[in-house]
Structure 1
Amino acid sequence: MKNSKALLTTSFFAPIQYYCKLIRYPEIIIEQWEHYSKQSYRNRCNIYGANGVLPLSVPVVKATNKKVFTKDVKISYDTNWQKLHWKGIEAAYKSSPFYEYYIDDLERFFTQKWDFLLEYNNEIQKEIFGILEIDPIIKFSEDFIDFGTSEYDDFREKIHPKVSKLETDQTFTAKKYTQVFGDKYGFIENLSILDLIFNLGPDSLSYLESINSNL
C-alpha cells in the first residue's frame, strides 16, 4: 500500500478483489467523472451457477453521445433483467449455507427501480457494508482523476472481468473457500461478493482480512 487512498470505479455487486480494497484503505475514492466503459464490473458481476461462471449484466440506456460520464449512465428497463437476475441468484445459491439468511435484504434490488447506475450500485454497496459490518470512508471524485496521479493507489483498470484488460494487481491473491458447485467445477476465484457472503456468511470479513494480511 503506497498511499492511504484507493481509487476505484463503481461496481455492480463487486468482486471479492474490490472488497479487499474497501477494507484495506482508510479512504476510498469512486471515480464518477470517467467516460463510461462497457463490459466491465461497472454494470456486471460474475456468480457461480450450475454450469460454471454466470455473468449478470445490468442493461444501460444507450447514450446519444459516445462519451458519457459514469455518473450520468441510466439503467434500461426495456427487458425484465431484474427478474432474470433474481432467478439466476436463486438457482445458484439457494442451497448455500447463508442464502436464506441474507436474501431478503437483497430482494429490493431486484424489485425496485433506480434511474442511474451509480446510484443503484451505491445502494447495493451500502447493503453489503451492513452485511459485512464494515463502515469504510467512501468519497466520489469531484473531477476526473488522471492516471498516474501519485496521491492514490489506482485500481480502475486492475479490477476488470476481461483478462486482456487487466493490469497486474500484486495486492490480491485469492484463497480457496467452499462453493456450492465446487465439487463439479472446482474453485472459481474472485467472483461477486454475493458468492462469498452466501457461502461464508459471518466469516466473509475474516476471509477478506486474511487475503490482505498476506501482503
Structure 2
Amino acid sequence: MTEQMNIILHPTYFPNIAHFVAIANADHVEFEVDDNFLKQTYRNRTYIYGANGKLGLNVPVIHSQKNRQKHRNVKIFNEENWQSLHWKSLLSAYRTSPFFEYYEDELQPLFTEKTEYILDFNLKCFEVICDCLQLELNTSKTVTYQKSIENKMDFRFLVNAKKEHPQDYDTYTQVFNSKYGFIPNLSILDLLFNEGPNALNYLESQTIIPL
C-alpha cells in the first residue's frame, strides 16, 4: 500500500493484525476515545495461538449499572489476578517462539504494573508495541464522538470481535502451525514473537479494505 492515509480506529487490547495493518500503512492515526463502551469487542480482549488453538485473553472490567458508559471511564477490575494469568498464557504459548526473549523485558511490566482505566492501559500497550516494532507514528485522540467520518478512513468497525471483517493476509510461521495450521488475524503479539524485526515489513506489505 503506497498511498498514505489518515485513519480513525479504537484503541484495543494488543490490537490484532487487521488493526496494525491499517496503522502501519497510515500517515496519521486518530484514536476514538469518546465512544460508549460496548461488550463483545476487542476493547478488552485479544486472541493468541495457544497449545490448544485460538485462545482469548480478556481484561476484566467494571461495568456501570447505567446502560451507557464512556470507554474512557471504564475501570479495570484489578481485584482479579488477570495480569499474571495473561502473562503465563503468553509464556506457555510463545516461549519457544524465535523472538519471545527479544521482547520479553519490554512487555513484562505491562503485566505487573496496575493501570486503573482500560483505555489508558490499551494506549500504554500500544506504545510498547510501537517501540518493539520501531514504528513511529503521528497520533491524536478524538475530542467528540462523530458517527460518520468524512476526512479520514474509518476503521472503527474492526473493534467488533463477534463480526470479523474478512481480510486476506499472507501466512507466516506460527509456533503450533503443525497442530492447527495458520490462524489469521491474531494479536500483534503473535506476529511479533514469530517474526521479530520483520513484523513491520509484513504489516506494511499487507492491505486492508475499509467497509
TM-score relative to the length of structure 2: 0.93
Q: Cα distance, 1:123 vs. partner?
A: 0.9
User: C-alpha distance in 2, partners of 1:28/1:85?
Assistant: 27
The aligned counterpart of 1:72 is 73
Aligned to 2:151: 151
Q: Encode CA deviations 1:47-82: one digit per residue, 9 max, x unaligned.
A: 000000000000111212220111111111121111
Confirm or deny that 1:210 pairs with 2:205.
Answer: yes
The 8 Å contact of residues 5 and 153 in structure 1, kept in 2 or not, is answered as: yes
Q: Is the 8 A contact 2:43 2:159 kept in 1?
A: no
- Identity, in percent, stands at 38
Equivalent residues in 2 for 1:1-215, closer than 5 Å: 4-147=5-148, 149-162=149-162, 165-166=163-164, 168=165, 172-212=167-207
Please, what is the CA RMSD of the aligned residues? 1.9
With normalisation by structure 1, the TM-score equals 0.91
Deviation at 1:5, TM superposition (A): 1.7
- Is the contact between residue 4 and residue 27 of structure 1 (CA under 8 Å) also seen in structure 2? yes
Instruction: For residues 116-149 of structure 1, give each alpha carbon's deviation from its aligned partner in whole angstroms, at most 9, with x where no partner exists.
Output: 11111111111111111111111110000213x2
Gap runs ≥5 in structure 1: none
Q: 1:70 to 1:159 in 2, by over 3 A?
A: closer
Deviation at 1:7, TM superposition (A): 1.1
**Letter paired with 1:54:** L
8 A contact 1:197–1:204 mirrored in 2? yes
Aligned length: 208
Contact 1:17–1:159 (Cα < 8 Å) also in 2? no
Name the SS of the counterpart of 2:30 in structure 1: strand
